[in-house]
Amino acid sequence: MIVLITGCSSGFGLATAVAFAQRGDAVVATARDPARAAALQDAHMRFANLSIERLDVTDQGSINAAVAATVDRHQRIDVLVNNAGIGVLGALELVDEPTLRAVFDTNVFGAMAVTRGVLPHMREQKSGRVIFMNAIGGILTTAFLGAYCASKHALDCIAAVYDLELRPFGVRVSSVYPSAFHTAMGGNLSLVAGEGTAYAEPTRAYFEGLSQRIASGPTDLSPVVDAVVDAATSPDPPLRYPVASHLSEVLGPTLEALDALHRRELSMTPGISRPA
C-alpha cells in the first residue's frame, strides 16, 4: 500500500509511519518542518520504504506539493492518515477568536484540505482509505477543553459524512479516538490561563491535572497504531475506533447508538444499496 500521513514529527504520527513501514508499505511521512523532526529523520534512515515530505495542513501549496510528489513517485495513494492537530486549554468564554480559528484551521479545515487533495486520486482508482486521528474529546466533552473538543466533534461529523458520500467510489472512512496517551501533546497544549478572572484557579488546576495524566499515560502507542492499521486494512472497518478501555462502559452504549444511526443513514443515502 501507499500510505500518506500528516503530523509525523512525533507521537501517533511517527509511530504510525514506522508501523506501516515495518509492514513493508510505502510510507510518505510528512511534517511542517522535517529538518527539525530528528526522530522522523532517524526513521527515514532505518526504512528505505519511508520517505519524507514537507506538509503544513494550513498551507495549501505544501499540501498540493506533497500530494503531487506522492502520486508522481508511487502513481497512487491507498491510505491517508490525517494525524496533524493542535490543542488549546482554557475556559471557552476566554478563548479569543484568533486562537479558536487557529485550532479549527489545523484540526478541521487542515484535515479537510488534505483529504480534498487526495480524494480525486482515490475516486479515480476506485479505492482508498481515509483515517482521521480524532480524540475521545470528539465524542465526550470536558470543561476547559471546549475549543479542542469542538474541533474534534466537527471532525467526527466530517468523517461520518465522508463515509456516507465516498462508499460508492470504493473509499472507506474511519476515525480513531485515543484517550490520554503519553505523547508530546501535553507539552504542546496552548494555555489560556485567564489570569485575573474567576476562571484562573480552576483552569490552572485542570491544566496541571491533565498534564499529569498525559505524563503518566501509557507510553505504548501500539493500541492506537493497531487501530489505524486495522482501519487501513480491514475489509469492513468500523467508522469509529475508540482506544480508551477505562471508558468502555460509558462509550459502549454511546457508540452503539451512533453506529445504528450511521447504518440508518447509509440505507438512505443515494448510490448506496446497502452498507459495504
pLDDT in tens, 65-104: 999 999 999 999 999 999 999 999 999 999 999 999 999 9
**So what's the pLDDT on residue 118?**
98
> Which whole number is the average pLDDT over 224-247?
94
Q: For residue 97, with 0-12 CB atoms within 10 Å meaning exposed, 13-18 middle and 19 or more buried, which class applies?
A: exposed
Tell me which residues are annotated as active site.
148
> Which whole number is the average pLDDT over 199-208?
94
**So what's the pLDDT on residue 275?**
41
The CATH number that domain 2-86+104-185+219-268 falls under is 3.40.50.720
> In which region does residue 7 sit, left (phi positive, over 0), alpha (psi from -120 to 50) or beta (all else)?
left
pLDDT-derived band of residue 273, with 50, 70 and 90 as boundaries?
Answer: low
User: Where are any strands of DSSP class E within 134-245?
Assistant: 171-178, 190-192, 240-243
The widest CA-to-CA distance across the chain, in whole angstroms, is 58
* Cβ–Cβ < 8 Å for 69, 20: no
Q: What does the domain layout of the chain look like in residue ranges? A: 2-86+104-185+219-268
**So what's the pLDDT on residue 276?**
41
CA 18, 48, 117, 36 dihedral sign is positive
* Cβ–Cβ < 8 Å for 41, 51: no
Question: What's the pTM?
Answer: 0.94
The answer on pLDDT for 20 being more than 70 is: yes
Average pLDDT, whole number, for the chain?
93
Q: Whole-angstrom Cα distance, residue 129 to residue 228?
A: 10
